[in-house]
Structure 1
Amino acid sequence: MLASPGARELARRGVSPDIVSGLSIGAYPAAVVAGALDFADALRLVALRGDLMEQAYPHGYGLTAIMGLTLAQVESLVEGSGTWIANLNAETQMVIAGTDEAMASVAKRALEKGASKAHRLAVSVPSHCELLAEPAQKLVAAFSDVTLSRPCCAYLSGSTGRVLWQPEQIADDLAMNMARTVRWQEAVISANEREARLAIEMPPGGVLTCLTRQAAWEGESISLERSGVDVAVHLAKRLRS
Structure 2
Amino acid sequence: MSTAGIERSHRAILFPGQGSQFIGMGRDLYHLYPRSAKLVFDEVDEALGYGLRALIFQGQQEVLKLTENAQPAILTTSIAMLRVLEIEFGFDVAKACNYALGHSLGEYSALVATRSMSLTDAVRLVRLRGEAMTRTVSSKNIQTAMSALVVRKGRLPELEEAIKEINEKLPKDELVALANINSSFQVVISGTSKGVDEASRVLQERRFAARAVDLPVSAPFHCSLMKEAAQVMEDALQNVIFKKPCVNVISNVTARPYANVEEIPKLLVNQITSTVEWQRSIHYCKEEDVEEFLCFGPGKVLANLLKKEYPLDCVKSITSADDILRHTEEYSSK
Q: Tell me the TM-score normalized by structure 2.
A: 0.66
User: Larger Cα Rg: Structure 1 or Structure 2?
Assistant: 2
**Structure 1's 167 and 236: CA in aligned 2 closer, same or farther, altered over 3 A?**
farther
Alignment of 1:184-203 (within 5 A): 184-203=278-297
State the SS of the aligned residue for 1:167. coil
**Structure 1's 235 and 101: CA in aligned 2 closer, same or farther, altered over 3 A?**
farther
Of 187, 197, 221, which residue of structure 2 is paired with 1:104? 197
**Structure 1's 54 and 164: CA in aligned 2 closer, same or farther, altered over 3 A?**
same
**Structure 1's 94 and 223: CA in aligned 2 closer, same or farther, altered over 3 A?**
same
Gapped regions of structure 1 (runs ≥ 5): none
CA distance in 1, matches of 2:301, 2:164: 25
Of 153, 168, 184, which residue of structure 2 is paired with 1:91? 184
Deviations 1:126-147 (A, max 9, x none): 1112222332122111111111
CA distance in 2, matches of 1:217, 1:162: 23
Q: Residue type matched to 2:120 in 1? A: A
Once the two structures are TM-superposed, the CA of residue 16 in structure 1 deviates from its matched residue by: 2.9
What is the match of residue 6 of structure 2? none
CA distance in 2, matches of 1:152, 1:217: 29
Deviations 1:107-150 (A, max 9, x none): 12333333322111111211112222332122111111111111
State the SS of the aligned residue for 1:179. coil
- Aligned alpha-carbon RMSD (Å): 2.1
Larger deviation, residues 216-225 vs 42-51: 216-225
Of 106, 127, 144, which residue of structure 2 is paired with 1:47? 127
Q: Is the 8 A contact 2:251 2:258 kept in 1?
A: yes
What is the match of residue 162 of structure 2? 76
CA distance in 2, matches of 1:177, 1:234: 37
State the SS of the aligned residue for 2:182. strand
Q: Is the 8 A contact 2:253 2:270 kept in 1?
A: no
CA distance in 2, matches of 1:125, 1:90: 22
CA distance in 2, matches of 1:232, 1:160: 31
1:64 and 2:147 matched: yes
State the SS of the aligned residue for 1:222. strand
Deviations 1:59-101 (A, max 9, x none): 6213111112322332314522421111111112111111112
Q: Is the 8 A contact 2:293 2:316 kept in 1?
A: yes
1:7 and 2:82 matched: yes
Between the two proteins, the alignment pairs up a number of residues equal to 239
CA distance in 1, matches of 2:104, 2:331: 25
Q: Residue type matched to 2:106 in 1? A: G
Q: Is the 8 A contact 2:144 2:193 kept in 1?
A: yes
Larger deviation, residues 10-19 vs 50-59: 10-19
